[in-house]
Every structure is written in C-alpha cells, then in structure tokens.
Amino acid sequence: MKIDRVRSLHVSAEWDYHEPLGEAHLSRPESIYPELAADPSWPVKDVASGSPYAVDAHFLIIDTDEGATGICGPVGDEDIAIINRTFVDILIGEDPHAIERIWDKMYRHSIHGRKGAPMIAQSKVDLALWDLKGKLLNAPVHQLLGGPSRARIRAYASMLGYSVEPIKVVERTRHFLAQGFTAFKWFLPCAPKDGEPGIRKNLAVIRAAREAAGPDVDLMFDAWSSWNVPYTLRMIELSREYRPYWFEEPVLADLIPQYAELRREARGVLITGGEHEYTRWGIKALLDARAVDVLQADVTWAGGISEMSKICALASAYDIPVIPHHGGWPSTHLIASQSLTACPLQEWLIQHGRLPNVFYKHKLVPVDGHIEVPNAPGLNMDLAEEGVTLLEERTLTG
Ligand SMILES: [Mg+2]
C-alpha cells in the first residue's frame, strides 16, 4: 500500500453559538505597541455579525492507492501551503504505516523548519497519518499507542475569550462549576506596562475566581508571555492568599533561565510553559534547565502524536507532567495513551474548543468536567455528513 495523493478541503458551516464572544482583553507580548494591542482572542472573524456565525476551515487529506484515507483538521491555510511546498513529494509513494520513517524524512528535509510554522505543518501531516493508521487497523489511535489509560479524562475549563470583569468572572466560574468542572484557567488582562492599576486588575480577577470557586478548585492563570521576572514574583506574592495553582507562560518562551529562576522562587505555585516549544530537542532544553513544573507542548504544533509520545516519555524521566496546550481530539488520544501521572489533565477551551465541532462527525463535548475517551477508529476528526459545505477541493502537487 502506498500514499498516492494529498488533498486539501476548504469547507464552510454555520456556528449556532449564543454565548458572548470577544469580551476579553488579554495581555500579549506585542501589547506594548498600541498599534498591535487589538485582541484577536475570539474564534470567529466577524463577531459583530451575530449567531449563527459563518465559519470556514481547511482539512488535510492523505489518500492511499487502496482507498483508505486519513484526515486532519481544522488546519491553517499556511499549513496547507507549507505541506504543498515542502512535504508532498516526500509523502507520495511512501508506505502510510511507516510514520516514524516519514516523520524523520520530513524533519531532515526541512532543516530550517525545526520550530514554528514548518513544524506545525509537519505536525498536521503526522496527525493525518495516525488517523489513517487507526482506520487501516480499525482502532482508535490511543489504543495503538498503549491506551486507554482511563475511561475519561479530567478536563480543565480554559476561559479564553470571556470577560475578566470580576463580576463576570464570578458568574462564569459558578456556571461552569455547576457543569462539573473542578479546575479553571483565566487569562490575565494586565502586564508591567499597566503599572500598579494593572496589578490591582489582575489581582481582582484572581480574587473573584477564588471567591466563586471555593477552596477545593484548582485555579490557573495565564500571563501569555507578557510579564517579566520581578512582575511575576510580585504577582505570586500578592496572590498567594488565593492559592493559584499555576502561573502559565510568565515570560517569553526564549527566556529559559528566567523560567528556571521563577520556578526556584515560586514556593508552592507552579510555573508552566512549553506551548511555544517544539520537538523532543526543544523540550529537553526546558527540562534540563528545570524551567517548568508542568509542560504544555501542543500535539498539533510540537511534532504531532509521534513526537508528543517521545516528549511524554522524556518528561516522565524528569517527573514533569505533560498537560498539553489544548489540541482537541488529538490531545485526548495522546493523554489516553499515557499514564495518569504522565498526562493527568486536558485543557478544554470553552469557546474555541467548541468551534471545530461544527465540522466534525464526532463532537468533543466534556460531560461533568471530563472528556470521554473515544472508541472510533482513527483520531475522530472526520467531517460531519450534514451541515458542512465543500467550497474547494485541491490536490496538492508540490
Ligand atoms: Mg497558554
């Protein structure tokens, strides 16, 4: 059996979503420049149009000469461009089961692509290949990797996009607490450029979340790479009475010694990061530096299921858990293939996480704060038979 074609599908659908979108303003590294401070943290292009929102997406398809097909999506149009330019010639003619060989060929061929967009595109190819293998062997991918390690995965509610007005934080925390979530992550609005008033605003979010959640819920806070060491230490000390579980990406991803310094000084508050790091080699540098308490590499960016399995093994040797940056269904399969200590938790983006469901046959819907481990063959990213319109199908020819 050989791979004989690689295609992209451009599809559209309507998203019937009646909760508020685009309420939040989170601090990001580029927010220091007023002209770059506009916040793109909502999942639809035209939030003013109202529900149902018109949404579109690209899916990657890998075909074989015996008729089986692997699918991965939504993927970016940039992913499709890179796959077309760099990887199609490598894929055609290969045995689709030989994922390790194909990954290595792509990695060696794309030597400037070790990090960032090319590795993100390579991850999408890897996921489509694992989906294909699951379908060829009639098994869910977590099973092919040694899972399932549990029947359902505890999920944490990731509140990207929701207002951080304290009164709204209280309201939404209570709402999702009642749906069974036992852990929440809020995205803090302010950074060093916002001075003392900003510190008070951040603290008000943390206080509101704790007051609404009660004493037994894990509360995490994401600084989106926009702080520095003194600011983070100050936020940790001022918020200590509200028992934050972790502060995420306090500084830019390249500041590895600064992560390590924060981790040494944080005294009981965890420092997490790694979503903007790639492959086993990038992650090993974080582990060797003792930079993070929790690794958050992304299965759709860091090299796919193949590479994330290696990253999990590597991290377990350092006794560092991997709680992947969201990643949807591929994250569920990866986590379900790992031990409970290696991958204890899945991120569930309440707003962005629901959007891909409009395209999917298998909807990812947490129940009682948990994601059920799926049994369908492959990675569960098949297109729904109804409600999805094909706008364009393209054979990638390199
Ligand atoms: Mg994050």
Question: How many angstroms does the Cα of residue 67 sit away from the middle of ligand 1?
Answer: 39
Closest CA to 218 of 320, 354, 323, 335: 323
Question: How many angstroms does the Cα of residue 222 sit away from the middle of ligand 1?
Answer: 6
Three-state DSSP string of the chain: CCEEEEEEEEEEEEECCCCCCCCCCCCCHHHHCHHHCCCCCCCCCCHHHCCCEEEEEEEEEEEECCCCEEEEEEECHHHHHHHHHHHHHHHCCCCCCCHHHHHHHHHHHCHHHCCCHHHHHHHHHHHHHHHHHHHHCCCEHHHHCCCCCCCEEEEEEECCCCCCCHHHHHHHHHHHHHCCCCEEEEECCCCHHHHHHHHHHHHHHHHHHHHHHCCCCEEEEECCCCCCHHHHHHHHHHHHHHCCCEEECCCCCCCHHHHHHHHHHCCCCEEEECCCCCHHHHHHHHHHCCCCCEECCCCCCCCHHHHHHHHHHHHHHCCCCECCCCCHHHHHHHHHCCCCCCCCCEEEECCHHHHHHHCECCCCCCECCEEECCCCCECCCCECCCCCEEEEEEECCC
For the question of residue 97 being annotated catalytic, the response is no
76: buried, middle or exposed (CB in 10 Å: 19+, 13-18, 0-12)?
middle
Contact 202, 190 (CB under 8 A): yes
- What pLDDT score was predicted for residue 111? 93
Closest CA to 300 of 275, 263, 318: 275
In degrees, rounded to 5, the angle at the alpha carbon of residue 7 between the alpha carbons of residues 334 and 91 is 70
- What pLDDT score was predicted for residue 287? 98
- What pLDDT score was predicted for residue 233? 98
Question: How many angstroms does the Cα of residue 277 sit away from the middle of ligand 1?
Answer: 12
Question: How many angstroms does the Cα of residue 130 sit away from the middle of ligand 1?
Answer: 25
Per annotation, catalytic residue among 325, 333, 352, 370: 325
Question: How many angstroms does the Cα of residue 223 sit away from the middle of ligand 1?
Answer: 8
| Residue % of the chain over a pLDDT of 90 | 91
N- to C-terminal Cα separation, the chain:
21
Q: Which two tokens stand for residue 85?
A: 């330019």
- What pLDDT score was predicted for residue 41? 60
Give CA–CA dist 84/259, Å, rounded. 37
Question: How many angstroms does the Cα of residue 158 sit away from the middle of ligand 1?
Answer: 9
- What pLDDT score was predicted for residue 34? 87
Q: Which two tokens stand for residue 169?
A: 């934080």
Question: How many angstroms does the Cα of residue 249 sit away from the middle of ligand 1?
Answer: 6
Q: pLDDT tens for residues 354-373?
A: 999 999 999 999 999 999 99
Closest CA to 187 of 214, 231, 223, 215: 223
Domains identified in the chain and CATH numbers: 3-17+52-138+383-395 (3.30.390.10), 143-372 (3.20.20.120)
The residue type at 332: T
pTM (predicted TM-score): 0.97
Question: How many angstroms does the Cα of residue 85 sit away from the middle of ligand 1?
Answer: 30
Give CA–CA dist 319/122, Å, rounded. 28
Task: For the chain, 398 residues long, give each residue's pLDDT as a single digit of tens.
Answer: 999 999 999 999 999 998 888 787 778 899 899 888 876 666 787 777 888 999 999 999 999 999 999 999 999 999 999 999 999 999 999 999 999 999 999 999 999 999 999 999 999 999 999 999 999 999 999 999 999 999 999 999 999 989 999 999 999 999 999 999 999 999 999 999 999 999 999 999 999 999 999 999 999 999 999 999 999 999 999 999 999 999 999 999 999 999 999 999 999 999 999 999 999 999 999 999 999 999 999 999 999 999 999 999 999 999 999 999 998 999 999 999 999 999 999 999 999 999 999 999 999 999 999 999 999 999 999 999 999 999 999 999 98
Question: How many angstroms does the Cα of residue 275 sit away from the middle of ligand 1?
Answer: 7
Question: How many angstroms does the Cα of residue 224 sit away from the middle of ligand 1?
Answer: 6
Walk across the sheet containing 53-64 and list its strands: 69-75, 53-64, 3-15, 389-395
Contact 188, 239 (CB under 8 A): no
Contact 48, 2 (CB under 8 A): no
